[in-house]
Structure 1
């Protein structure tokens, strides 16, 4: 529930009450109202309103003005709170009464009617029911939770939905703070103060003074996209939970905060079709459901016949079930056709652009999402990641050291870099019965290869891989007779067989 003066809005039910009386408001006008409320008093440009309310339709300013008038009409005597900024857009103020300063900061009244800063979303969150249930349970038991995972995996969407589902539990005291600002970087205390409605007379914000103003009542603070300011967020979170045990933190990041009491939740990709799936099973996979939903929202005439379902499944598998990649692919499929999209994806991930104009810059194209992570790496980590691009599928630490170590990088450097890349959600580690294998998501591998090519290092890295392959074969030469026999009899336990078939090296079994 959100409230401004005598106006009460229930986003989930899309209902508006004026003086506790239900009033009618058109669907488009309701969308405009929710976007303005989400901005928490900040300016929303006409372009942003039009892009979000009419994403697939060309409209003019007059259409928007009609719905603004509808909102002002229901606001009655408080209509002046909806302010038009000539030539730019609109602001929805919280109150006509200027706040009275009692300290450095002035807090908006924190009651069960306090408006939260959660973003409005009309799109269904596909394939995340289990995750939402698990996160909800863990949140009850832990003061600090961090959703970690690769870029575009859906951490922000999950966190926002968790906040919406737990509004009543925290009596409306749920705020979401965007760390990856669209414009100039904003200090963490100032970002939190802005999201929670604290204002300052002198413009100065410190972590301690902001924390002192947060109610000592059950409160949820969601810190989104923390990886580029991870140390500052960790320090702020540690201080906040120590001084205010009633406040819980839900952070999203590509790496952990690494503070005492933190509970990690690894966000995994959506479910992709299996090799043996029938045409009837493919649409039941959550990755395909998301793809079809997004394509249909852009192109209502899209036909989900068997051929298109098979191609949709192929695209989703190629993208490893990463939601951002799937949404971008759906947007391209609606324009190019799904068959052309599937063909182009085999050439480059650069085709995956055209995200929402209102999205954060690193969510507008898949390449930009990877650039965001890549630019946060050290020089050594960048070199290792790009060189790992020559390894397909699963690989061992020995494989990685063989292709990445060179005159400028020692084996130790490579090992340390791989540990860092795992912690930053760029390399996936799989432990089974004491044996660890690693892999890059296919989209990550394609990006790594692009970087390797751009750096002029691909040929040298491929040569190291070839020399390593030669050594593996030579070392196993004495076992070829036994190896051939074990293959004929289907014996997969031979160590030399397992070594020779290392998927990351691309070695195929004998036929």
Structure 2
């Protein structure tokens, strides 16, 4: 029995080994060169293939006029028009061609041509080659069919507190720029804000298509590539559309607003993908949530800050403590978790203290309020000496990295480069604002104690910038220089990790000393270590 491979797209089945293209029960007549072009494009579905690459693949040993590719592509399009499924092969201006339809690959073991209803195990065909996804950022290969990554619906817009000024600003940007990225620390509410703004635009513009994709899903990047490939591109003769539209609002009717959520782990492959898609697809708008910007042409970045918190010493009903959004969020979530929870005036200063110690971070405040069925407000405030151990009762349906405070911080820590992680851990003892010079002095002393080479000022500044861009450190100007600070929950997390690391290192040194003692032939009564 001879094994063969079949590619399925639309109503067609392509068998490269038998050199036949099937439509229903009949074969589609294709010329030899057109067939080779089709195989080359289908095997690289979703990827832009240059005319030079097609010439090399189809005419490897011949000198052929480049217009031959265009002629055969035109013929191939006519042959594929019978399926009435839209345009399969699209031009990408100044770059080449792209096979835009989703493709499935079947491993066929029957030597005869299969019937349309034959059983076969589907294997998803990646829409782009592995080299387009850097190794450090690439997701694992999907083990489920591609359709599993496609969202069934756009999530409902949640009720927001304290974002009255941010919503109009984000909507304003979406009406004038084609790529808007919401950044901020984990748990600050970027996803909720993005959904509210996107839903508002969709309600105001009924012909605006809204699509949502959680980029934290395993096969999300592959699905996104297929989704972008299915959108119409600009014809070669049309001018490339501007990526940025400032000033006058755009006409949003008929456009596609793509909301990409949780993009921080795929920033590298997404940056090129989105920039190319915006240049080739004029109807596309992109709203991104990420802990760091994409840093692409035409991107505008909106920073989502934590909620404002009141001074706990003056938080009361008389001073408007109940109107503070952080306090309102805690009280609302506490009432949702416990029908016995009561809002008492004497608890307001404690609620304000809880919100202040959690830096106004909405996720942390909601996790604290989730303790209300078991603890009083005073007990919650007292137990915040260990926020990582207390704040663990998140929503079961939330993404895994948002179900506990520690999981959210683990997610942020994993995004950092090794030197950025080292900088965070070494500087975690700083509880207040610090300058670059102060950081340099502390890092130098810390490394010197461990016998390590000093970190140059340029490297330290680059690492600190990375921590700010990834929403781990906060920065603000102070007189003639910038100063930096950790959020309290991030600092507590970093101190815990640093102490664990130091304990592991001390344990390792103890094992090494014991090994040296045993290997040096020391007498039983001599307990001194070798020099």
TM-score strictly above 0.5: yes
Partner of 1:374: 413
SS of equivalent residue, structure 2 residue 159: coil
Q: Which residue of 2 is the match for residue 351 of structure 1?
A: 390
Q: Which residue in the other structure is 1:140 paired with?
A: 175
Residue number among 465, 484, 489 corresponding to 1:438 in the alignment: 484
Instruction: Say whether the 8 Å CA contact 1:272–1:321 is kept in structure 2.
Output: yes
Q: Is the 8 A contact 2:307 2:326 kept in 1?
A: yes
Q: Per the alignment, do residues 217 and 244 of structure 1 end up closer, same or farther by CA in structure 2, a change over 3 Å counting?
A: farther
Distance in 2 between residues matched to 1:229 and 1:170, nearest whole Å: 31
Mapped to 1, the partners of 2:201 and 2:381 lie a distance apart of: 39
Q: How far is 1:243 from its partner?
A: 1.1
Structure 1 counterpart of 2:211: 175
SS in 2 for 1:353: coil
Aligned to 2:324: 285
Cα distance in 1, alignment partners of residues 293 and 490 from structure 2: 20
CA pair 337-411 structure 1, distance change in 2 beyond 3 A: farther
2:313–2:349 CA contact under 8 A, matched in 1: no
Distance apart, 1:295 and its partner CA: 0.2
Aligned length: 338
Q: CA deviation at 1:320?
A: 0.5
CA offset at residue 375 of structure 1? Answer: 1.1
Q: Which moved more, 1:270-279 or 1:326-335?
A: 270-279
Query: Does the 8 Å contact 2:472/2:490 carry over to 1?
Result: yes
Matched, 1:241 2:278: yes
* Aligned counterpart in structure 1 of residue 101 of structure 2, from 93, 99, 105: 105
CA–CA distance in 2 between the matches of 1:393 and 1:387?
Answer: 14
Equivalences for residues 75-114 of structure 1 within 5 A:
101=85, 103=88, 105=101
Matched, 1:224 2:261: yes
Pairing partner for 1:397 from 409, 431, 436: 436
**Deviation sequence 1:61-113 (CA, Å, 0-9, x none):** xxxxxxxxxxxxxxxxxxxxxxxxxxxxxxxxxxxxxx985546379xxxxxx
Conservation of the 8 A alpha-carbon contact between 1:216 and 1:247: no
Of residues 221, 224, 238, the one that matches 1:188 is: 221
Shift of 1:275: 5.0
The equivalent position to 2:343 in structure 1, one of 294, 304, 308, is 304
Q: Does the aligned pair in 2 maintain the 1:234–1:258 contact within 8 Å?
A: yes
The structure 2 residue matched to 1:212, chosen from 221, 232, 237, is 232
2:333 to 294, 298, 311: 294
Q: Please name the residue that 2:497 is paired with.
A: 451
1:453-500 CA distance string (max 9 Å, x none): 11117999xxxxxxxxxxxxxxxxxxxxxxxxxxxxxxxxxxxxxxxx
The structure-2 alpha-carbon separation of the partners of 1:342 and 1:408, relative to structure 1 and needing over 3 Å to count, comes to farther
For residues 144-201 of structure 1, give each alpha carbon's deviation from its aligned partner in whole angstroms, at most 9, with x where no partner exists.
Answer: 11000000010000001111111132624111110012xxx215141x3xxxxxxxxx
Q: For residue 13 of structure 2, what is the aligned residue in structure 1? A: none
Superposition RMSD in Å: 2.7
Equivalent residues of 2:182, 2:302 under 8 A apart: yes
- Residue number in structure 2 paired with 1:16: none
Rounded Cα–Cα distance in structure 1 between residues aligned with 2:269 and 2:253 = 23
Cα shift at 1:239? 1.3
What does residue 468 of structure 2 align with? 422
- 1:7-45, Cα deviation, whole Å (9 max, x unpaired): xxxxxxxxxxxxxxxxxxxxxxxxxxxxxxxxxxxxxxx
SS across alignment from 1:230: helix
8 Å CA contact retained: 1:156, 1:224: yes
**C-alpha contact (below 8 Å) 1:116/1:175 kept by paired residues:** no
Gaps of 5+ in 1: 1-98, 108-114, 193-204, 461-511
3-state SS of paired residue (1:395): coil
Candidates 124, 131, 136, aligned match of 2:166: 131
> Greater CA radius of gyration, 1 or 2?
2
Equivalent position of 1:89 in the other structure: none
Paired residues for 1:51-70 under 5 Å: none
Are the aligned partners of 1:155 and 1:252 in contact in 2 as well (CA < 8 Å)?
yes
Greater percentage in helix: 1
How far, CA to CA, are the matches of 1:389 and 1:459 in structure 2?
A: 18
SS in 2 for 1:279: coil
Are 1:319 and 1:326, in contact at CA under 8 Å, matched by a contact in 2? yes
Q: Which moved more, 1:166-175 or 1:439-448?
A: 166-175
Alpha-carbon distance in structure 2 between the residues aligned to 1:409 and 1:147: 36
| Separation of aligned partners in 2, 1:457 and 1:410 | 23
SS at match of 2:370: helix
CA distance in 1 between partners of 2:347 and 2:313 (Å) = 17
SS in structure 2 at match of 1:437 = strand
Change (3 A) 1:299 1:420: same
